[in-house]
Amino acid sequence: MQKRAFSVLATFALATFISVGSANAATDSYTVKPGDTLWQIATKHKLTVDELKSLNSLASDSIKTNQKLAVSAKVAVSQKSGAVNSVSVKTASTKVPAVLKETSSTNSWKNTVATTVKPKVLNLPSKKVLDNAVEVSLPLLHTPYVWAGATKEGFDCSGFIYYVFSEAGLNMPRLDTIGMHTNSSSVDEPIPGDLVFFENTYRSGISHAGIYLGDGNFIHAASQKVEITSINSVYWKDKFTGFKRFNQLN
């Protein structure tokens, strides 16, 4: 009788151990769902896109439905063999994302010091439009670039912003990049959904724009497709002019 009781207890303890181990494993990995993007998955698990790509040895932003991704420093998923290997990465910060303060002398962010930004409190309708803009923009990743395009068949940079904000609830005309720059106001404390502007890309002066996502990243219709890029990347940091917000939202 004692042996049987001991056997039952041992079985229960083993089952509990396996259950806990499985629960922990589940929090260390994530299965990609239809419509997911690396930015969404990284944000959900308090990682940056670069950290998520490093954990999974990803060379691009492309992911597939049902693909398993490591979302913890404890586990990394090998894309070749599916084997689990331990890795060491820097723990993602849970603080408010830091951005670089614009300097009045250069009107750019290069060679400046990172400063923690506290989001400005907006009236609810304006904040809702900015939140909606981020939600509308993300599923449009990888949409091809089309000159003067403003539909889901293809976008140029201003057409992308026009489509996103129209879908987000802002009644606005179809403007080019300069028109958007003219009809918006500078903001010192940017939040996701604000505009980012660049100069001297394919022409002199204001020539490109995107939508800020936070953590120094913006989404835009680049030369080939809609993609997410860091403002501090080698090409863009020297061309960045500042954050703005449509006048209707101020």
Q: Is 142 in the active site? A: no
- At position 175, the amino acid (one-letter code) is L
Residue 220 is a catalytic residue: yes
Annotation marks residue 157 as catalytic:
yes
CB atoms within 10 A of CB 38: 23
Catalytic residue among 45, 142, 181, 220: 220
231 touches 239 (CB < 8 A): no
Catalytic residue (one of 45, 142, 181, 208): 208
Selecting among 45, 142, 157, 181, the annotated active-site residue is 157
Structure tokens at 71: 């979302």
Residue 206: closest CA among 186, 175, 234, 181: 181
Q: Could you list the active site residues?
A: 157, 208, 220
